[in-house]
Amino acid sequence: MSDLWEGLSQAFWLVVLLDPDLVEITLRSLRVTLTALLIASVIALPLAALLAVRRFRLRRATIAVLNALMGLPPVVVGLIVYVFLSRAGPLGVFGLLFTPTAMIIAQVIIIVPLIASIAHQSLRELWSDYHDLLISMNTTQGQRIRALLWDGRRALLTAALAGFGRAIGEVGAIMVVGGNIDHATRVLTTAIALETGKGEFAMALGLGFVLIGMAIAVNLAIHWIGHTERGGRW
């Protein structure tokens, strides 16, 4: 219990004093995760809409695979990305291993299926509402996808936030491909793992509370920007 209080106290002082290491690690966490989220959303949301409006032979199988990939083990993703980016791997020439870019790639692979699956659930229901209307208006497939993405944007925000939550708390994959290098690839989760390994529980807890606070703050900010939960709005 004393560790918990000490952790809270340490988190408080770390934040109040704007500890330079903490600020650096936190900003890197945010940069990596928000970049991964942006890229993943650009891939996953149109994919989810396409799966909702278009009928093709392997559609069901694609949806089943996406759902299954939601449970993708991050360490395995990290390992696969490591193999691809390592010097002997097919993408080794780019020299991306142990860089924030490698961490972003791993996070994108982890959260694309999650965002796409959650978004698809929402858009499928919306499409069943809109189907006859949009067909009767002689819309193109692109127009249907745009209508679903726009009108379903608040549900899609939830999907994106789920992706953010998964990515910001991720440690296995980014530890493998990022290497937890000080001032280079260290982020909040890998720093917590490191401090715990060193037996510095108070510091680890302090970083943990900062991580939780940041995740909540980002969620609230996105809700506020998205105008969700306001009277008379979707």
Partner 1 sequence: MQMFPLTVEQGVVRRRGKVLVGPVDLTLAGQGTTIVVGPNGAGKTSLLKMLHGIVRLNEGRLNWACPREEAEKRQGFVFQMPVMMRRTVVDNIAYPLRLIGVPRKEARARAADWAHRIDLGDALERQAVLLSGGERQKLALARALIRDPEVLFLDEPCASLDGRATREIEEILAEAAQSGTRLIMSTHNMGQAQRLADEVILVIGGRIHEFSPAAEFFAGPQTPQGAAFLRGDIVE
Residues engaged in binding partner 1 (CB under 8 A): 126, 129-130, 132-133, 135-139, 143, 147, 151-152, 232-234
Please check whether residue 157 is in contact with residue 90, taking contact to mean a CB–CB distance below 8 angstroms.
Answer: no
Task: Between 81 and 148, name the residue whose CB sits nearer to partner 1.
Answer: 148
Question: Cα(96)–Cα(108) distance, rounded to whole angstroms?
Answer: 15
CB of 224 to partner 1, least distance (A): 19
Task: Between 52 and 175, name the residue whose CB sits nearer to partner 1.
Answer: 52
Please check whether residue 131 is in contact with residue 52, taking contact to mean a CB–CB distance below 8 angstroms.
Answer: no
Question: Cα(113)–Cα(53) distance, rounded to whole angstroms?
Answer: 18
Task: Between 159 and 175, name the residue whose CB sits nearer to partner 1.
Answer: 159
CB of 154 to partner 1, least distance (A): 8
CB of 129 to partner 1, least distance (A): 6
CB of 53 to partner 1, least distance (A): 15
Tokens 């934040």 found at: 15
What residues contact 74, with CB distance under 8 A and at least 6 apart? 106, 110, 170, 171, 172, 173
CB of 226 to partner 1, least distance (A): 13
Please check whether residue 7 is in contact with residue 202, taking contact to mean a CB–CB distance below 8 angstroms.
Answer: yes
Helix (DSSP H) and strand (DSSP E) numbers for the chain? 10, 0
Task: Between 42 and 135, name the residue whose CB sits nearer to partner 1.
Answer: 135
CA dihedral over 118, 119, 124, 130, signed as positive or negative: positive
Task: Between 24 and 151, name the residue whose CB sits nearer to partner 1.
Answer: 151
